[in-house]
Amino acid sequence: MDTVTVHVLGLPLDLAERAQEHHDGLAREMTLITMGLSHGAPGSSGLPSRFLEVVSSVTTDVSAFRALREQRMAEARAAGEDSVDIVYEAPTAITAAVERLRGLQTEVDGYCRQGGYLLTLETPPDVLAYRTWLFDELTGQIAGRPPRRWVGTAATV
């Protein structure tokens, strides 16, 4: 398996934690929806079929990087830091999964905006900027672009 060293530079601890809380809240809500549907007749929920596909996809996607990120974030917090640099060995094949997850999260945000299916609010702008940066770092570095450090709502070379 081909891998690339990916440097996530200046990962903001507070914002990363808020992003994870938002993601976890959506995941819990989607799990509850899935559990509720498993007890009822298929198609009886009134939910659009595409929404149900997205729920299934998002709840089964697991971040291969979460454990390392959480460990490094905890170490940085204990040291009194506000941000942390993390180095991953990422398989080059992960690009397709990251892009798929990016698309699914955009769809989920659309459902959050519409209301009616989810109670969770759409991704806040600063969390969306962080998520976009993180996904861009993974896919960009795998494609050969140099790392960009997080600086507020943008990243720099």
From the first residue on, what is the mean pLDDT of each consecutive set of 10 residues in the chain (157 residues)? 92 95 84 68 54 56 70 96 94 84 86 84 94 94 96 64
- Distance from C-alpha of 37 to C-alpha of 81, rounded to nearest angstrom: 43
CB of 54 closer than 8 Å to CB of 110: no
Which of these, 28, 52, 50, 29, lies nearest to 40 by C-alpha position? 52
How far apart are alpha carbons 148 and 7 in whole angstroms? 8
Report the alpha-carbon distance of residue 50 to residue 56 in Å, rounded.
10
pLDDT for the residue 44: 45
Q: Which residues contact 96 (CB under 8 A, 6 or more apart)?
A: none
| Confidence (pLDDT) at 59 | 44
The pLDDT, as a whole number, for residue 45 is 52
Tell me how many domains the chain contains.
Answer: 1
Inter-residue contact 123 to 114 (CB < 8 Å): no
Angle at 122 between CA 120 and CA 125, to 5 degrees: 140
**Inter-residue contact 7 to 140 (CB < 8 Å):** no
| Residue 41, domain extent | 3-156
Which pLDDT score is estimated for 61? 43
pLDDT of 26: 83
What is the model's pLDDT at position 107? Answer: 85
In this prediction, residue 137 carries a pLDDT of 95
* Whole-angstrom distance, CA of residue 91 vs CA of residue 66: 15
Largest CA distance in the chain: 52
Q: What tokens were used for 70?
A: 């959480």
Beta bridge partners of 63: none
